[in-house]
Amino acid sequence: MSASAPETDLTAKVVAAFKQYEQTLNGAAETPLHAIRRSALDQFVQLGFPTPRNEEWKYTNVAPITRRDYRLAAQPQATDINAEFVRSLVPAGLDADLLVFVDGWYKADLSSLSAQAGLEIHNLGASAPHGAQPAQQLAADTDGFVALNTALALDGAIITVRAGVELARPILLLYISDVQAGDAMSALRCVVHLEANAKAQFIELNAARGDGHSLQSRVAEMRVAQGARLDHIMLQNQAAQNYQHNYTRVDQERDSLYRNVVAALGGGFVRNDLSIALNGEGAHADMFGLSMLNDREFVDNHTLVDHRVPNCTSNELYKGIYDDRSVGVFNGKIIVRPDAQKTNAFQSNRNVLLSDGATINTKPQLEIFADDVKCSHGATSGQFDADALFYLRSRGLSTEAARTILMHAFAVEVLDQVPVEALRLHLEHQLSSSTSFDV
């Protein structure tokens, strides 16, 4: 092992857990998938957890979340999480196929699948060979977190939607950490493939049971083939002791459409990396994000849109409302490659600070190597419009009520982009209940 970076305790722990897992493999240790995992582990040990010296982690300090003594299971653990608890997590009125993972392991007994035609779901743990290919794609690039995930994600979902199939029901992926008995860390991997002209909606929801600290690492690789459309919604509303790192890699082919909506309404540490490669002409990517934080919550949204071919478009809108001592980070990068003429890329990041302790660090970035393009970005930070507040107050509303209405109006621009109605209502309800005044 070529160790160079100083090891944190967690790094040592990860290595130990990996070795322990390796011993349980017997003959399977020589499979290609395991070779990938082993080299990813080496890579992780070399890279270590990212530090703020790494430009992509400039505003994001992971030291506090990597210092804890997490339980790290190399095998599915017994859990008493039951169907009732799972039901309590599912947004009301949402009719979806449900895949439940506890501490990174698929739980068939808690999941409910309706056997939709044209939809194939495997879990990575059971059908390892499928996982080999995709894991290889990511192993080389990015940072320590992704390498960690490649090494440790022993389970996850491999989902294929067959050509031309339009799924009638969304798929809800529920990631639960069981931290009743103490801190726990988990890693899982999702591989999604929408074949030509397929249409699907994916929803991801992170949750925890118990008061311990959780750290969830999720890497998703999504392929959206020609003419396909994928809606991808991420719901993140956890407590201060819950941490998560999500890395999403999307490859889009000709005339495909991908839409990501991330609603980060809470969490002690949330890092979302969204990297989209537009590989076929006519592809379009939409990215929307809403962060609404208070206390000492932290959310970091990193997006990268790589316009590799001509005639693609991308559109991005991230909004944030930050109260108390919360911190928001936005980093949006648009790359237009030399041949990607006629690119149209738009990016906007709008923030409201409600308290002097709150901070927003934003870095909208354009890297453009083609000339016949239209690219723009805007970033703002400010308060709610004083005139609007005054108008509402003159209509007899209290300052607090007026603020809540404005906050709601600010957030709704993003929530309106959620294509599943039950979810949209669920989010609006969460929004109302997180503000002190009910609109």
Nearer to another protein, 255 or 323 (CB): 323
Structure tokens at 234: 């991420």
- Please state the closest distance from residue 356 (CB atom) to another protein, in A: 5
Q: Which residue has the tokens 């939709």?
A: 116
Residues in region 330-349 near another protein by CB under 8 A: 338, 341
Does position 355 bind another protein by CB under 8 A? yes
Cα-Cα-Cα-Cα dihedral of 233, 236, 242, 248, to 10°? 30
Stretch that binds another protein, among 293-301, 306-314, 363-371, 390-398 (CB under 8 A): 363-371
Rounded least distance, CB 383 to another protein, Å: 6
Q: Which helix (H) or strand (E) holds 422?
A: helix 421-434
Query: Which candidate, 288, 351, 350, places its Cα nearest to that of 322?
Result: 351
Phi-psi map region of 54: left, alpha, beta (phi>0 left; psi -120 to 50 alpha): beta
**Residue carrying the six token digits 């005639």:** 311
Tell me which of 8, 46, 315, 359 binds another protein, using CB under 8 A. 359
Beta strands per DSSP E along 162-213: 171-178, 184-194, 199-209
Pick from 30, 37, 41, 29: nearest CA to 3: 41
Select the residue interacting with another protein from 354, 397, 412, 422 (CB under 8 A).
354
**SS3 state at 425:** helix
Task: Give me the count of residues in the chain.
Answer: 439
Stretch that binds another protein, among 104-112, 145-153, 361-369, 412-420 (CB under 8 A): 361-369
Closest distance between another protein and the C-beta of residue 388, in Å? 15
Window 372-411: contact mask with another protein (x via CB under 8 A): xxxxxxxxxxxx----------------------------
Query: Strand, helix or coil at 133?
Result: helix
Measured from the CB atom, the residue of 96 and 373 that comes closer to another protein is 373
Residues 30-69: x/- map of binding to another protein (CB under 8 A)?
-------------------------x---x----------
Residue partners of 327: CB distance under 8 A and separation at least 6: 59, 293, 296, 297, 298, 299, 358, 359, 360, 361
Should residue 246 be labelled a site residue for another protein when binding is judged by CB under 8 A? Answer: no
In the shown chain, the binding pattern of residues 281 to 320 toward another protein, with x for contact by CB under 8 A and - for none, equals ----------------------------------------
Nearer to another protein, 351 or 435 (CB): 351
Min. distance of Cβ 58 from another protein in angstroms?
A: 8
Distances (CA, A) of 359 to 60, 293, 324, 363, 380: 12, 11, 9, 13, 13
For residue 403, the minimal CB distance to another protein (Å) is: 12
Q: Which residue type, as a one-letter code, is found at position 281?
A: E
> Which amino acid, one-letter code, is at 25?
L
The SS3 of residue 196 is coil
- Shortest Cβ 367–another protein spacing (Å): 5
Size of the site for another protein (CB under 8 A): 36
Q: How far apart are CA 80 and CA 407, in angstroms?
A: 39
Subset of 86-105 contacting another protein (CB under 8 A) = none
Query: For residue 200, which phi and psi values (nearest 5 degrees)?
Result: -155, 160
Other CB atoms closer than 10 Å to residue 399's CB: what's the count?
A: 10
CB of 328 to another protein, least distance (A): 10
Please list every residue from 269 through 288 that binds another protein, using CB under 8 A. Answer: none
Contact in structure between 348 and 315 (CB atoms under 8 Å): no
Nearer to another protein, 149 or 351 (CB): 351
- 214, 242, 362, 430: which one contacts another protein (CB under 8 A)? 362
Q: Which of 84, 356, 387, 438 binds another protein (CB under 8 A)?
A: 356
Residue closer to another protein (CB basis): 22 or 295: 295
Residues that bind another protein (CB under 8 A): 55, 59, 338, 341, 351, 353-383
